[in-house]
Amino acid sequence: MRKIFEILSMVRDYKRPLYLNILFNILNAFLSLFTFLAVVPFLRILFQRTKEVAVVPDSSNGITGEYLMDWVAYNLDQYVQANGATSALFWMCFFIVSVALLKNIVLYFSLFNLAAIRTGIARDLRAKVYDKILRLPLAYYSEERKGDIMSRMTNDLMEIEFSVIGTLEVLFKSPILMFIYLGTLFLMSWELTLFSLIFLPLSGYLISRVAKSLKNAAKRGKSKLGELMSVIEETLTGMRIIKAFNGEKVFRRKFEEHNQGYFRLMLKLYKREYLSSPTSEFVAILVITILLYTGGSLVLSEGASLSGEFFIGYLVVFSQIIQPAKAFADAIFKINKGGASIDRINEILDANESIMDKPDAKNILKFEKEIEYRNVRFSYGNDEVIKGISFTIKKGETFALVGASGGGKSTLANLLSRYYDVVSGQILIDGIDIRDYVLTDVRHLMGIVTQDSILFNDSVKNNITLGLDMENELGVIHAAQIANAEEFIVELPGKYDFNVGDGGNKLSGGQKQRLSIARALFKNPPILILDEATSALDTRSEKLVQEAITNLMKSRTSLVIAHRLSTIQHANQILVIKDGVIVEQGSHQQLMELDGTYRSLVELQQFD
């Protein structure tokens, strides 16, 4: 029941199509009723053998079902007597076709409004989840699989769509049909209707027994699908490495394990789901058979109060309760399956946004004095990777971080960008803790170039202007020129409008890196973070990229993480980081004279 209310809260933004859907459902129910009840006069025309006209019905006992049927019989017999049975049959068929046409037009508008609701809710949820994904900190993605998140935004949202349909079926369609049909049946014969209602709780009990286990099975299935999607995503991302190391068998086996596990789970799920429809249909047929025997006995008895055509009309209407009853049962299953998907979507929507602006966050429009790391500590879970580091970068200075992998260099840069927040201590810009500033303002001060050039499946121009003024054509060209990128851009088909492909796969490593530098130049930030920006390049590309980096660093405050130590010899200060602490600090000359860790690293690279 809680899930129904949760889905209804999503529907409240779609009141107009909801009200129209309900209206058309009501009209559809009445028109369906007219179509089904037309069988009674139709049978009367075919099988009426007497030439006598029916007796004028007596309304002294009120407007009952029996009176209405007698009224129809009387007027029909009058018409047959005056115009003949063939004429009456023609107009009866014309009436059935006309009502059926109108009924299906109404049904179309009902479904059209339902489509507006279900697709609108899916669109809104997709937008909410995507917006949340953009707001969540990087720490969230180190624990969650990308494939699973993609599964939640596609398959789970599809299940929620079906849940919306199920909820509207449960609340606004099946009950309307059943209420109108049952009301008509009571008017036709309240005794038979009461008798039939005895068997309905049996159907509800059997269906509920099957439905209870469905939600947990669905949730396990969705989780398994997320794992399967993650394997596919990893395969596509690492295809080059898989082929290079002949890892096809390993990944095929890994995929087969997840694929087979998902198959087994879904087989169990559908085994339970598909049990509902046969169960409800068998119970309904059982009830109709009992009614057929009971009502038939009344028709055949002496002094029968029930005519044959009247009883057949009753059965036709009663049989129509089967479909909304089945739809009701199916809707319960959809809601239970969708409930598992709603829970999975909510896990994203309710995830903690640890990197947020304070209510009284200050604006910072420009960087004026210095960046200070003050006794900074940081942990990934229980693993402390930064252990009380302090240093100050004056405006215009270049600080380089060197040391073995895993020492904490990239973490220090990520803390300045507020991808993560410090566990203790402070990082200050111009004397104020960066957590007290507006987050977008802090990041607006910074340009970042990483070892892995992150490009998007878009044009060269849009990759350079990411998030900024796209109309500044001259600024784009100027940034590309300084980054040594224009020389290859002008040779591309379409030049600045050339699509670089998924992840920039249409460009070489050096070209991608120079575009990343052009992006940072176009932003023109006062603070620059370079994370091993030349480590993965060949000699020629490194030379071009290093020239671009030199151009980029002019008149900027820079924090450089260096793999190739020859590129940072002119830094104002070099910090040697080991196991989360600073073990050496000074200029290149000072550290070489110190004859410690830094000198060993330089000599090792010279030997290489």
Q: In this predicted model, what pLDDT tens digit does every residue of 147-162 receive, in sequence order? A: 777 878 787 888 787 7
Give the residue from 49, 2, 366 showing the smallest Cα distance to 167.
Answer: 2
pTM comes to 0.72
- Per-residue pLDDT, averaged over 84-105, amounts to 81
CB 504 within 8 A of CB 493: no
What spatial distance separates the first Cα and last Cα of the chain, rounded to whole Å? Answer: 68
Percentage helix, strand, coil for the chain under 3-state DSSP, each rounded to 5: 65, 10, 25
pLDDT (tens digit per residue) in 364-397:
988 999 999 999 999 987 888 999 999 999 999 9
Burial state string for 415-445 with b = 16 or more CB within 10 A and e = fewer than 16: bbbbbbebeebbbbbeeebbbbbebebbbbb
Least confidently predicted of 287-296, 357-366, 499-508, 539-548:
539-548
Bigger pLDDT: 448 or 67? 448
- Per-residue pLDDT, averaged over 525-539, amounts to 73
Which helix (H) or strand (E) covers residue 111, if one does?
Answer: helix 85-135
Pairing outcome for strands 424-429 and 432-433: antiparallel
Look at residue 229 and tell me whether its pLDDT is greater than 70: yes
Look at residue 230 and tell me whether its pLDDT is greater than 90: no
Q: Letter for the amino acid at 388? A: G
Distance CA 361, CA 383 (A): 30
Look at residue 597 and tell me whether its pLDDT is greater than 60: yes
Bigger pLDDT: 309 or 297? 297
Strand, helix or coil for residue 388 = strand
pLDDT (tens digit per residue) in 417-443:
898 899 999 999 999 999 999 988 998
The mean of the pLDDT values for the chain is: 79
Look at residue 7 and tell me whether its pLDDT is greater than 80: no
To the nearest whole percent, how much of the chain has pLDDT over 70? 80
Bigger pLDDT: 532 or 347? 347
Least confidently predicted of 341-345, 441-445, 486-490, 534-538:
534-538
Full set of structural domains in the chain with CATH: 2-349 (1.20.1560.10), 370-445+527-538+557-608 (3.40.50.300), 455-524 (3.40.50.300)
State CA 380 to chain mean position distance.
28
pLDDT (tens digit per residue) in 109-166:
988 888 888 888 888 888 888 888 888 887 777 776 777 778 787 878 887 877 777 7
Distance CA 127, CA 122 (A): 9
Strand, helix or coil for residue 599 = helix
One DSSP character per residue, 40-100 reads HHHHHHHH----SPPPPPP-TT-S-HHHHHHHHHHHHHHHHHHH-HHHHHHHHHHHHHHHH
The total of other beta-carbon atoms located within 10 Å of residue 190's CB is 12
Which helix (H) or strand (E) covers residue 515, if one does?
Answer: helix 509-523
CB 456 within 8 A of CB 406: no
pLDDT (tens digit per residue) in 74-89:
676 777 777 777 777 7
Q: Is 147 exposed, middle or buried (0-12, 13-18, 19+ CB in 10 A)?
A: buried
From residue 384, how far is each of 255, 372, 418, 582, 583 by CA, in Å? 35, 20, 17, 15, 17
The total of other beta-carbon atoms located within 10 Å of residue 377's CB is 15
Q: Find the DSSP H helices in 386-508.
A: 409-416, 439-444, 460-464, 473-482, 486-489
Structure tokens at 70: 């007698």
Q: Is 323 exposed, middle or buried (0-12, 13-18, 19+ CB in 10 A)?
A: middle
Write the CB contacts of 83 (distance below 8 Å, at least 6 apart in sequence).
Answer: none
